[in-house]
Amino acid sequence: EIVLTQSPGTLSLSPGERATLSCGASQSIDSDSLVWYQHKPGQAPRLLIYNTSKRATGTPDRFSGSGSGTDFRLTISRLEPEDFAVYYCQHYANSFTFGPGTRVAVK
Amino acid sequence: QVQLVQSGGEVKKPGASVNISCRASGYSFTSHPVQWVRQAPGQRFEWVGRINAGNGVTKLSQTFTNRVTITTKNPARTVFMELRSLKHDDTGIYYCATRFATSSGFDLWGQGTQVTVSS
């Protein structure tokens, strides 16, 4: 089973700053199977990015995804107050696996 | 309105079973497999399994094969997940979700059901 890792565990930034989140896979994966979610307390996760780099409906264009093979990234170009949350990457092969998450916190 | 609505929170004793429902509305229920995902406190999300709402075929995570049953009632547009032989580690929020308007990932989620296992 492919294991996903995410770094850093916590990213402390100020509104307006750029955030770069990393997701690593234990072996090379199909880019079409890598997605990113945003999760806020008390809410269901929200799909942000699918197929590594495609924005889901309603995802602002300050969010972008990139990567291939074993290394993937989610970039938030300029943090807005509503972007402070936990972000998870997810992969699908025979089953779905999630990374441990990166918390984007207010500095 | 396109949505998934789950049943309310449950408190159970170890060894008991819990049954959570997920009712779909606003879309073609039989066209989109319904997934179950859980998040235990402080843990990453964990996929439990899925059901093809059209034919009832299920696929379960190996972690849950022996303890989970997922079923559906089509006229009621509802999916059920039963988790048996509950342990304290099963405490967490259980979500149903589906892939509605995207080619990967889950873009439609239920609101989550808190399951607490406590003696």
Q: What is the secondary structure of B15-80 as a DSSP string?
A: T--EEEEEEEESS-GGGSPEEEEEE-TTS-EEEEEEE-TTT--EEE-TTTTTTEEEEEETTTTEEE
pLDDT at A95: 86
Q: Name every chain A residue with its beta carbon within 8 A of the beta carbon of B112.
A: 44
Q: Name every chain B residue with its beta carbon within 8 A of the beta carbon of A35.
A: 104-105
Q: Name every chain B residue with its beta carbon within 8 A of the beta carbon of A50.
A: 102-105, 107
pLDDT at B103: 84
Q: In chain A, what is the straight-line distance between the N-terminal and C-terminal CA atoms, in Å?
A: 36
**Residues 63 to 92 of A: which have CB under 8 A from any B CB?**
88, 90, 92
- Tens digits of residue pLDDT in A5-46: 999 999 999 999 999 999 999 999 999 999 999 999 999 999
pLDDT at B29: 86
pLDDT above 90 covers a percentage of chain A that reads 95
Q: What is the 3-state secondary structure (H, E, C) of A3-42?
A: CEEEECCEEEECCCCCEEEEEEECCCCCHHHEEEEEECCC
Question: Residue range B107-117: average pLDDT?
Answer: 97
B52: closest CA of chain A, how far (Å): 15
pLDDT at B113: 98
- Tens digits of residue pLDDT in B46-102: 999 999 988 999 999 999 999 999 999 877 899 999 999 999 999 999 999 999 888
Answer positive or negative: Cα dihedral of A25, A59, B28, A44.
positive
Closest residue in chain A to residue B62, using alpha carbons only: A95
Confidence of residue B34 (pLDDT cuts 50, 70, 90): very high
A59: closest CA of chain B, how far (Å): 11
Residue A70 contacts residue A24 (beta carbons within 8 Å): yes
Contact B44 A45 (CB under 8 A): no
Closest residue in chain B to residue A39, using alpha carbons only: B45
